[in-house]
Amino acid sequence: MKIENSRALIVEGGAMRGIFASGVLDAFMDANFQPYDFAIGVSAGASNLLGYIANQPGRSYHVITELATQKKFFSPARFIKGGDLVDIQWLWTEANKQFPIDQTDVFHSIPFWATVTDVRTGKANYHRISPANIQDAMIATAALPIAFKHPPCFSGGCYTDGGVADSIPVKEAYRRGARDITVILSHPLNYQMPKARHPWLINKLLTPYPKIADAMAHRADNYNASLAFIRNPPEGTIVRVIAPPDMFSVKRLTMDTKQLNEGYIMGMEAGRQHIAALSGKHGLSDENCHFCL
């Protein structure tokens, strides 16, 4: 018997690394594969999930390769002059102008949460996407601290990128009842996040937001704790991982179209392999498929 909220889909962020997840989710849509009870996205992962929940193949790919590569979005020159390094507000507005979302599909699909970090506490909050908050929550989840200077405020708080406090919200999915969790990562499986190299600089740049600076200082510990949960889930819980291969070359700020296309193709292939594995084509079962690709 199926248990309500038993199956969850988690999509990590990672800025331009999100091109991999966009490929995975496009492969899912091509196969009409949506077996989940709810989904949680973080930063670029939330943007990718929005296209998936709305059943709009190719949307996330176009947003990343055609809009996120523009100087209107990413501008070191603007940042040096005191502006934002990345203009999340422009990206959201332009994406919805050029690739509009059918919100009817979004709000009649599975529940979808966007992860944000509360600037007052440095802790993760999870906002269920609704007609009332979709713009605010989707901008906030990707509002990188330092790079986006003014944290968006809504629902009684101000927020920054969800990846600061909870980059891979598998524990939150478990807390909400999921016992079959699929995670799309932005790094290969062997990745471990290193500690921040210059914490003093982070503290200086985030002087107005000390709790965010503290969360950034502990980000690697929290990230690696999520990886440990994935590798050793609680009894009765299955965690399935879809991760880029070791040769995945896309970085957080990669703007090269060729590299992005290669990353997208890797994601498409990984998504197809995941579906094939679940169908038993590779001789894998639910019991030994925790790290299916």
Tell me how far apart the alpha carbons of residues 163 and 115 are, in angstroms, rounded to a whole number.
8
Residues 6+ apart with CB under 8 A from 161: 13, 42, 43, 116, 117, 140, 141, 142, 143, 144, 145, 148
What pLDDT does 8 receive?
A: 98
Q: What is the pLDDT of residue 200?
A: 81
Catalytic residue, candidates 22, 43, 60, 167: 43
pLDDT score at 228: 95
pLDDT at 205: 83
pLDDT for res 282: 53
Whole-model pTM: value is 0.93
**Catalytic (active site) residue 37:** no
Catalytic site includes residue 286: no
Task: Walk along the chain (293 residues) in steps of 10 and give the mean pLDDT of each run.
Answer: 75 97 98 97 97 96 97 94 94 97 87 97 96 96 92 94 97 97 95 85 87 93 96 95 96 95 98 91 49 44
Which two three-digit tokens encode residue 238?
């299955």
Check residue 170 and give its pLDDT: 98
| Contact between 51 and 20 (Cβ < 8 Å) | no
Q: What does the pLDDT read at residue 31?
A: 97
Domain boundaries, the chain: 6-288
Tokens standing for residue 291: 């790290």
Q: State residue 286's pLDDT score.
A: 46
- Three-state DSSP at 221 gives helix
Task: Answer whether CATH 3.90.550 is correct for domain 6-288.
Answer: no
Helix (H, G, I), strand (E, B) or coil at 57: coil
In 3-state terms the chain splits into helix, strand, coil percentages (rounded to 5) of: 40, 15, 45
- Which of the following is catalytic: 87, 161, 166, 180? 161
CA distance 262 to 259: 5
Q: According to the model, what pLDDT value does residue 198 have?
A: 78
